[in-house]
Structure 1
Amino acid sequence: MIRVGVVGASGWADSSHLPALAALEEFEVTAVATTKQASADRFAAARVVRQAFSNAGELVTHPEVDLVVVSVKAAGHAAEIRAALDAGKHVVSEWPLGVDAEEAAELTAVATEAGVIHAVVLQGHHSPSARFVADLVAADRIGTLESVVLTAAGAPFGGNRIWPDLEFALDPAQGTTILTIMAGHFLAGLERVAGPLTEVSARLPRTHDHVLITGTQRTAPNSTPSHVLLHGLLANGGTASIAVHGGNGDAQGGFRLELVGSEATLTATPADPGTFIHWGDWNIRIGNDLVAIPDTYRTVPPTVESGPPANIAALYREVARAIAEARQPHPSFDTALRHHRLLAAIEHSAASGTARSLA
């Protein structure tokens, strides 16, 4: 049994990590931490967890914690990850790993030196739909992959208003933007099915210099992009065109992914309209024919909630296997670092107006 402590249990983790872990027999959540003791006690009681802390430092050093989950705001990842590594604990970090590629490189180096298991939550890598489509492409079901087109909604980022709890995201130094969060996850899903990008040419237009804070009459300055526009080359020689458009509120538009092969075109859209590419199942068609995802691609118990908990549970099962086999899981911090460098190349291309290659 792998004993887990969750730092940041009152936010995203409560609707994703905690239900995923509760459904897996390999894990037991033994500790939670939030910024206030009252909320930590409340979440511990609701999830039947023995230990509750308002100080994450106490959680990471607790003897009943083997693995630390870091699910706080991106700008707070580095401090919590370093503390867990210093304590010799395995770490699962939410994406993004750090606020930029430099911080991600430092954390990856420290994790490697610590000799522990380290993983990052990029749900697209464990999506049954993405894994199935990757296998279809590898089996030449559409012939040689020639081009990929992805259009996706990036709301709630990039619009002319934003929720009050996301106001911090208007500062790029916080590491939570339409590029890092939305395009970051979407590109991970795209690369899972089509292979890695080797060159990018990008634009990051900022439509709104000031953004209305929803429910108020107040505006706040915005220094983050409103959209992500990207052309690229794939390792197999194919091309990629990606448009992630910002907006307000929920992402009603969802996504549309087209893989154009020499013999056929595969299209994927959300099975649950409006959901993100890395969250739920896809409707997959080759030509006009709907293709069902075989049950063998679903690797978690049916009791796991649909949506993000299912793909996150699949990641945790990979982490459990990696611990048992004394190897790094996928995706690890090394995977995250490569992905951070992709985002940095996009930023550099947009700033310089030139294409950027990835090593």
Structure 2
Amino acid sequence: MIRVGVVGASGWADGSHLPALAALEAFDVTAVATTNQASADRAAAAHGVRHAFASAGELAAHPDVDLVVVSVKASQHAAVTRAALNAGKHVVSEWPLGVDAGEARELTEAATAAGVVHAVALQGHHSPSARFVADLLAEGRIGALESVALVAEGAPWGGSRILPNLVFGLDPSEGTNILTIMAGHFLAALERVAGPLAEVSARLPRTHDRVLVTGTQQTVPNATPSHVLLHGVLTSGATASVAVHGGSGPTYGGFHLKLVGSDGTLTATPAQPGMFIHWGDWDIRIGDEVLPVPDTCRTVPASVRSGPPANIAALYQEVAQAIVEGRQPHPSFETALRHHRLLAAIERSAADGIAREIS
């Protein structure tokens, strides 16, 4: 049994990591931490957890914790991750790993030196739909892949309005915006299907210098992109075109993925309206043929509800197996670092107009 402490238990983890862990026999959530003791106590009571802390450091140091889940704001990921590594604990971090590639590199090096298992929650890597489409491509169902096109909604980021609890993300130093969060997840799902990007040429338009805080008359300055536009070349030689357009939400179209091969075209759209590409199931078609995702692509218990908990549960299954086998899971911090370098290449290309290779 792997004993887990969840830092940030009253936020995103409440509806994703905690339900996923509760469904898996290999894990026991023994501790939670939030920003104050009262909310930590409430989270512990809601999930039947023994220990509650207002300090990530105390949680990481507790002897009843083997693995620390980092599910706080991106700007706080580094501090919580370092506390876990200093305590010699395994780590699962939400994406992004850090606020930029430099911080991601430092955390990856520290995790390697600590000799622990480390993973990052890029949900698209464990999407049954993404896995199925990758298998179809590998089987040659559309022939040799020639081009990939993805159009996706990036709301709630990039629009003319912003929810009060997301205002912090308008500061690029927070590492939480349409490029890092939305495009970051979307590109990871695309690469899971079609393979890695080798080169990108990008633009990051900022349509709104100031945005309205929803429910108020207040506007606040915005220094983050409104849209993410890129063209690129995959390592296979296929071309890629991606447009992530910002908005104020809610999402309606979700995404449209088109894969053109030498012998056919595959398309994928959300099976449920408005779902992001890394969250739910896809409606997959080759020409007019509808291809349901087979049960063999699903590894988590049926009790795990669809959406983020299912793909996150699949990540934890991989983490548990990696701990048993004494290896790193996929995606690990190394995977996250490479992905941070992709985003850095997009930023550099957008700044100087030069196509960039992914280092």
Q: Aligned partners of 1:49 and 1:154: how far apart in 2?
A: 35
Could you tell me how far 1:27 is from its partner in structure 2? 0.2
C-alpha separation between the residues in 2 aligned to 1:249 and 1:322? 38
> Is residue 75–residue 174 contact of structure 1 (8 Å, CA) maintained in 2?
yes
Superposition deviation, residue 28 in structure 1:
0.3
CA distances 1:165-208 after superposition (whole Å, capped 9, x unpaired)? 00000000000010000000000000000000000000000000
For residue 18 of structure 2, what is the aligned residue in structure 1? 18
Q: Distance in 1 between matches of 2:43 and 2:166?
A: 22
Normalised TM-score (structure 1): 1.00
State the partner residue of 1:151: 151
| CA–CA distance in structure 1, aligned partners of residues 41 and 98 of structure 2 | 28
Secondary structure of the residue that 2:150 maps to in structure 1? Answer: strand
Aligned-residue Cα RMSD (Å) equals: 0.4
Letter of the structure 1 residue corresponding to residue 172 of structure 2: P
Q: Distance in 2 between matches of 1:340 and 1:347?
A: 11
Q: Structure 2 CA distance, aligned partners of 1:23 and 1:300?
A: 9
Q: Which residue of 1 aligns with 2:333?
A: 333
1:84 aligns with 2:77: no
Q: Distance in 2 between matches of 1:305 and 1:323?
A: 25
> Conserved in 2, the CA contact under 8 Å of 1:272 and 1:280?
yes
Q: 2:205 maps to what in 1?
A: 205
Match of 2:95 in 1: 95
The answer for unaligned runs of 5 or more in structure 1 is none
Query: Could you tell me which amino acid in structure 1 is paired with residue 102 of structure 2?
Result: E
Gaps of 5+ in 2: none
Is 2:348 the partner of 1:353?
no
Return the alpha-carbon distance in structure 1 between the equivalents of residues 253 and 294 of structure 2: 26
Once the two structures are TM-superposed, the CA of residue 249 in structure 1 deviates from its matched residue by 2.1
Q: CA deviation at 1:238?
A: 0.5
Matched, 1:59 2:59: yes
TM-score, normalised to structure 2, is 1.00
Q: Which runs of 4+ in 1 moved over 4 A?
A: none
- Tell me the alpha carbon deviations over residues 220-258 of structure 1, each in whole angstroms, 9 at most, x when there is no partner: 000000000000001111000000000012222200000
Measure how far apart 1:279 and its partner are: 0.1
One-letter identity of the residue aligned with 1:176: T
Matched, 1:112 2:103: no
Structure 2: how far apart are the matches of 1:166 and 1:7?
Answer: 19
Provide the C-alpha distance between the structure 2 equivalents of 1:226 and 1:55, rounded to a whole number of angstroms.
35
Query: In structure 1, what is the equivalent of residue 135 of structure 2?
Result: 135
Deviation at 1:57, TM superposition (A): 1.0
- Encode CA deviations 1:293-350: one digit per residue, 9 max, x unaligned: 1101110000001100000000000000000000000000000000000000000000
Rounded Cα–Cα distance in structure 1 between residues aligned with 2:69 and 2:358: 30
The residue aligned with 2:47 is: 47
- The residue that corresponds to 1:247 in the other structure is 247
Identity of aligned residues (%): 76
The 2-side partners of 1:249 and 1:238 are apart by 32
